[in-house]
A and B are shown apart, each in its own frame.
Chain A
Amino acid sequence: MKIVVLTKAAVPLSSAIRIDPKTGTLIREGVPLTVNIWDRDAVEFALRLKDRYGGEVIALSMAPPSGIPALESLIGMGVDRAILASDRAFAGADTWATAHVLAKTIEKYIPDYDLVVAGEETIDSTTAHIGAQTASWLGVPYIYYVYDAEVKGRTLVVRRFLEDEGVDEVYEVDMPAVISVLKGSQIPREVRLSRKLNAREYIQVVSNKELGLDPECVGLRGSPTLVAGMAPATYPPRKKVVIQGEPSEVVKKLVEILKSEGVV
């Protein structure tokens, strides 16, 4: 089974976030990037399928060159090889343009894939778009929030959980397909240092010279959405009445407030 795992080299929550004032997009160049935390679930999921059914797991990321260390750590986890789609022309992409590059890279370099596995969402922009959009670009079926799967011939039988409805569902999906893995549902394996040492050898970097995509259809220019402004969030003013003193006094005041508000 040939499995592609999509992973974003994301800006870690701990680091200061910088926004390009001209385009309103996130600056990822020159920032130490780490694997989006929920993509570790996706990688673990793919590796478990490989453990069971054999085959190959290939990580794919679109990122500036500072995304390489993130891919190295995935090689350390046991991913067979990785492809980094990287070109200045890809910068500032919205999800449409990101999924475009990912899908075209798959079609060109891994045309015989059986399954594409994505994380549920990223921690730095949390749209959860990329899985569905990649499926749309590739013209294959897809399903989100998967936590378990079994291969039956050319179909994948997946078990997934919908948090808001509190239901488990089992689906059969024809392969090739795209799935996203329920965040927090896997226990990602450790990075093995011995594998990580020469990890760079297993990473192939491809630019738009090789991919040959229309520069008007990638990056900022190829993005149907446009960040038109960024402003600090403001919150509605509150009364800020401080109540303190003896607990019995405090409770009396609270009850008065609840009464005047018609709550009791």
Chain B
Amino acid sequence: MPCRLWPPINKEDYRGVWVYLEREGDRLKDVGLELLGKARDLAQKLGGVEVAGVLVAGGEDLAREAIYHGADKVVIIDNPDLKIYTPAEYAEAIARVVQKYRPEIFLIGATKRGRELAAYIANTLATGITADCTALEIDPKTRDLLQIRPTFGGTQLATIRTPQRRPQMASVRPGVFPKPPRDPSRTGEIIVEKVEITKRRTRLVSIEKRLEKDIADLPPVESSDIVVAGGRGLGTAEGFKLLVELAKLLNGTVGASLMAVRAGWVPHTRQIGQTGKTIRPKLYIAVGISGAIQHLMGITEAKMIIAINPDPHAPIMENADYAVVGDYKQIIPMLIEELKRLKNQS
């Protein structure tokens, strides 16, 4: 006998794969588009069901953007009270719409705001939710979503199911799935839903950008094809300056291990790994990083890894395409000179 607090459901009534489209001001965050790409893949495995996005208080231009990235349908929650984000009210409105349309899967980007919303929505829908999935598959026999998440410091992968409840919910960190290409010839349906919410109990008073001291005006690690990352082995903040110079020459950006962040050389928004960012660059250059499992978790999908480390037995060397044995203080300045020379030639 299932728990009596779970309203009985008929699983057949639930169809389609839905994605929450998070806004940041007047644009969509990339993670929602990344999830639309994954949703298309899941929808196909489910026999070609519909892919839809849900957007709170966004314009039709944003809905169309989602359609260009893979949505068949976008539901815009239209309520002037929801122009500004507050968690309790957003979660309630999103849950209402999901309840009405009954998708079998509902995915949410695990941004800070997404993590805040996700579990409240799941609870309102009397369903389960798996946090920070890195892979999502379909069991063709049961149509169950296999929600795969790394656990215990990345040494194990747990596969979690929600066998009795619908929708099946999962959150996914930004950067885990690739953003699908934009196809402006795609068409889809835009539905505007007026959603009423109960009394507003949270109000935004003010919002201000924190001027965090970044080491250089380089792009964020999630959106760079080339990431040059440094660890404790750099020894000093000066060491990072070399990496910044190298990154600029390569049109890339800099990242860091937890230890380099702890040392205060780099802001924590640049940390790569289990408790930092998951990235999928074309090239990752790890300098003075030992390659602890928690760090490796953030770069498993890098196309190519080059490691520079004097210790040939450091785990990063076993997990690199090119393991350069040496001292960065010798190698990086020479590499910079060589790249500059090449640049001047062309």
- Show the binding face of A for B, using Cβ within 8 Å: 13, 17, 19, 24, 94-96, 99-100, 125-133, 135-137, 140-145, 157, 161-174, 177, 214, 216-217, 221-233, 235-236, 238-244, 247-248, 250-252, 254-255, 257-258, 261, 263-264
Contacts and interface: CB of A to CB of B under 8 A. Distances in A.
A248 B24 CA distance: 47
Contacts of A258: 250, 339
A251 to B, nearest CB: 5
Contacts of B131: 125-129
Contacts of A162: 112-113
B112 A145 contact: yes
Contacts of A264: 250, 339, 342
Contact of B120 (A13, A19, A127, A133): A133
A170 B206 contact: yes
B156 to A, nearest CB: 5
B206 to A, nearest CB: 5
A261 B322 CA distance: 13
Interface in B271-306: 275, 282-283, 296-297, 300-301, 304-306
B335 interface: yes
A216 B111 CA distance: 33
Q: Which 8 A-B pairs have the closest CB atoms?
A: A224-B128, A225-B128, A136-B123, A129-B119, A217-B3, A127-B131, A141-B201, A244-B325
Interface in B187-223: 201-210, 212
A99 B123 contact: yes
Contact of B205 (A163, A171, A239): A171
A172 B207 CA distance: 12
Contacts of B338: 251-252, 255
B168 to A, nearest CB: 9
A167 B207 contact: yes
B160 A228 contact: yes
Interface string B106-118: 0000011101111
Interface stretch (B49-57, B61-69, B97-105, B145-153): B145-153
A134 B271 CA distance: 30
A128 to B, nearest CB: 5
B79 interface: no
Contacts of A128: 115-116, 119, 131
Contact of A168 (B111, B208, B301, B324): B208
25 contacts: A132-B116, A132-B123, A133-B123, A136-B91, A136-B123, A141-B202, A143-B116, A145-B116, A162-B113, A165-B112, A166-B212, A167-B207, A174-B201, A214-B3, A216-B2, A227-B158, A232-B155, A232-B157, A233-B156, A239-B321, A247-B331, A252-B338, A255-B342, A257-B306, A257-B322
A166 B331 contact: no
A129 B342 contact: no
A224 B323 contact: no
B269 interface: yes
Given A127-B131, A240-B320, A242-B325, 20 more contacts: A13-B153, A94-B128, A96-B122, A132-B117, A136-B120, A141-B88, A144-B116, A169-B207, A170-B204, A224-B128, A225-B128, A225-B162, A233-B154, A239-B322, A240-B318, A241-B321, A242-B323, A244-B312, A247-B326, A255-B338
Given A128-B115, A136-B120, A227-B160, A142 B87 contact: yes
Given A94-B128, A143-B87, A217-B5, A164 B112 contact: yes
Contact of B129 (A24, A225, A227): A225
B207 A168 contact: yes
A26 to B, nearest CB: 9
Contacts of A244: 312, 324-326
Contacts of B304: 261
Contact of B331 (A214, A235, A239, A251): A251
B44 interface: no
Interface string B76-90: 000000000011100
A255 B249 CA distance: 13
B319 interface: yes
Contacts of A216: 1-4
Contacts of B207: 167-170
